[in-house]
Amino acid sequence: MEVHTPKMMRRSTRLRVEIPVSVTSLDRQRPFAERCVVLVASAQGCGFRSTRALQLETPVMISDLPGGGSVTARVANCLPLGNDGFLIGAALYNHGNVWGIADAPEDWNISAKNDPVAARPQPASVPKSAVQKKSWPYNLFSEGAEVHPGRK
C-alpha cells in the first residue's frame, strides 16, 4: 500500500499520450536536436522518449506542439529504457495545457492559476509601427547627447 504525503502528491494529473514533438537543447555546451514522442504529459511537464540521454538541468525547447506552438523546459530526469532509448522528464517553465489536450483534467487549470509566472497578466503586443522614439525608454537621452564610456 502506498502512503501519500503532501510532498508525494502530484501537482496535476499525468496523462498517457503520444505526441510527436521536436526537442532542441538551448545550451550550446550540450547540443541536442531530435524528433521525439511525448509519452506522459501534465500541466507542469512531460516525459518524452529520446535516443540519447540528456544531462539534468539542460534547458530545452519543445516545439511542433499541437497547434504549432513551442515551450521551454528543463531536464528534470533521465531514465534508461533499455534498447528503446531514454525517458527524459522535462519540467515546463510556464505551466498549463500546452499539449492541446481537449477536456484536460480540472487540476491542470488550477495548477496554471496557482503558478506565479502564469498568473501574471501578459502585456498586450504593440505593433512596431506604434513605437514612438520620443516616448520612454527612448526619451532617456536627447539626440546627440549620448555619452559612451571611455570616449570623449
Residue 144 lies in a domain: no
Mean pLDDT of 106-129: 53
Long-range contacts of 108-115 (CB under 8 A, 24+ apart): 108/12, 108/13, 108/42, 108/43, 110/12, 111/11, 111/12, 111/43, 111/44, 112/43
Residue 128 lies in a domain: no
Pick the range with the lowest mean pLDDT from 33-37, 52-56, 143-147.
Answer: 143-147
Mean pLDDT of 61-87: 94
Per-residue pLDDT at 63 exceeds 80 = yes
Alpha carbons 58 and 89: distance in angstroms, whole number: 11
CA 143 to chain centre: 40
Q: Which domain holds residue 59?
A: 1-117
Residue 9 lies in a domain: yes
Alpha carbons 134 and 15: distance in angstroms, whole number: 51
Mean pLDDT of 135-150: 44
Decide if 73 contacts 95 (C-beta within 8 A).
no
Confidence band of 106 (pLDDT split at 50, 70, 90):
confident
Domain count, the chain: 1
What pTM, to 2 d.p., does this model score?
0.67
Over pLDDT 90: what percentage of the chain? Answer: 52
Is the torsion defined by CA of 127, 132, 136, 142 positive or negative? Answer: positive
Mean pLDDT of 76-102: 93
Residue 136 lies in a domain: no
Residue 135 lies in a domain: no
Alpha helices in 53-105 (DSSP H): none
Q: What is the CATH number of the domain that holds 17?
A: 2.40.10.220
Residue 55 lies in a domain: yes
Mean pLDDT of 67-75: 94
Residue with grid cell 539534468, as numbered in its chain: 56
3-state secondary structure of 110: helix
What confidence score (pLDDT) does residue 110 get?
65
Residue 106 lies in a domain: yes
Is the torsion defined by CA of 92, 94, 59, 102 positive or negative? Answer: positive
**Per-residue pLDDT tens digits for 29-48:** 999 999 999 999 999 999 99
Decide if 59 contacts 84 (C-beta within 8 A).
no
